[in-house]
Amino acid sequence: MKLANVAGRATVLVSDVEGIDVEKASDGVFGPDLPSIYADWEAFRSWASSASTRSTVPVPRDELAAPSPEPRQILAIGLNYAEHAAESGFDVPDTLPPTFTKFVSALSGPDTTVALPDGGRTDWEVELVVVIGRTARRIPSADAWAHVAGVTVGQDLSERITQTSGPAAQFSLGKSFAGFAPTGPWLVTPDELPNRDDLALGGRVNGETVQDGRTRDLIFPVPALISALSHVVTLYPGDLIFTGTPAGVGHGRTPPRYLALGDRLDSWIEGVGELHQKFTGAA
Ligand code: ZN
């Protein structure tokens, strides 16, 4: 199943441009908002599996919003691909990978215009984003996928000066400027993916491929990650986990390259879809 947030209304897609309005089709049992659906995920899945597709509504691309627009927590993972750790000048993590947050105010839908912070060095990081569908507390890896509602594409936009300045790294602030957490274009349930543990993902800047990886290369794959995180924090329905970026970020290039005014950034994951960002000057 693909579940979209169309201007605040949960919509089960029947194609990329058409879907079932959940609140109308369920006579108000589910929706219209997305957070209440994640809070009752299993009942919703059960209803959606037999929902009638007779009455559909258009899904305009420019009305798509974040698939999980009000997560209680956004967890983001650093250095989770070996080649990216190497290009960043860090060792590969052996226990818990570096974990930070992207503050919720940075969250957006799939197609946006983002203001580049003045004097900053803003970089790209395409990532598989997991949306939690069932409260997870101290769960084993084998049970992890059962706690996932689905996945979506995320861009972990990162301003490297803020991120790395000061006596200790400032990951959470450097990655939380307005619009720095685009997600979408919709949520895809794991059963719908070609292989939930091995998805191609990548990014293009002005049409040029800059990242091209596969999630099978995650050092901490989704099950291990959810298990490890759930032994520290409780994961709630609707929470997002940005799982880390593959190699090819601008900071790791020689010479380094950062996003500039007028640049276009496309981020994609096989079987899920694409994000599109444009960059302007500070508002
Ligand atoms: Zn990242």
Tell me the pLDDT tens digit for each residue of 151-187: 999 999 999 999 998 888 889 999 999 999 999 999 9
Q: What are phi and psi of 260, to 5 degrees?
A: -120, 165
Q: pLDDT tens digit string along 222-254? A: 999 999 999 999 999 999 999 999 999 999 999
Tell me how many domains the chain contains.
2
Q: For residue 15, with 0-12 CB atoms within 10 Å meaning exposed, 13-18 middle and 19 or more buried, which class applies?
A: exposed
Gap between the Cα atoms of 140 and 12, Å rounded: 30
Q: For residue 118, with 0-12 CB atoms within 10 Å meaning exposed, 13-18 middle and 19 or more buried, which class applies?
A: exposed
In terms of pTM, does the model score above 0.85? Answer: yes
- Domain of residue 10 covers 2-65
Gap between the Cα atoms of 137 and 33, Å rounded: 25
Gap between the Cα atoms of 57 and 179, Å rounded: 28
181 alpha carbon – ligand 1 mean position (Å): 10
**Which of 40, 65, 90 marks a domain boundary?**
65
Q: What pLDDT is recorded for position 101? A: 98
Q: Looking at the structure, tell me whether residues 51 and 93 fall in a common domain.
A: no
171 alpha carbon – ligand 1 mean position (Å): 9
Q: Looking at the structure, tell me whether residues 45 and 164 fall in a common domain.
A: no
Q: What is the DSSP letter of 192?
A: G
Average pLDDT over residues 111-137: 97
pLDDT above 80: residue 282: no
Average pLDDT over residues 253-274: 97
Q: Looking at the structure, tell me whether residues 133 and 271 fall in a common domain.
A: yes
Q: Which of 156, 190, 145 is nearest to 75 (CA)?
A: 156
Q: Looking at the structure, tell me whether residues 81 and 43 fall in a common domain.
A: no
**Which of 65, 84, 100 marks a domain boundary?**
65
Percent residues over pLDDT 90 in the chain:
90
Contacts with 237 (C-beta within 8 Å, 6 or more apart), sequence order:
38, 39, 41, 132, 133, 134, 135, 149
128 alpha carbon – ligand 1 mean position (Å): 10
Q: Looking at the structure, tell me whether residues 114 and 57 fall in a common domain.
A: no
Q: Looking at the structure, tell me whether residues 152 and 28 fall in a common domain.
A: no
**Which of 22, 46, 65 marks a domain boundary?**
65
Give residues whose Cβ lies within 5 Å of ion ligand 1.
Answer: 125, 156, 245
Q: Looking at the structure, tell me whether residues 189 and 251 fall in a common domain.
A: yes
Q: Looking at the structure, tell me whether residues 189 and 164 fall in a common domain.
A: yes
Q: Looking at the structure, tell me whether residues 60 and 133 fall in a common domain.
A: no
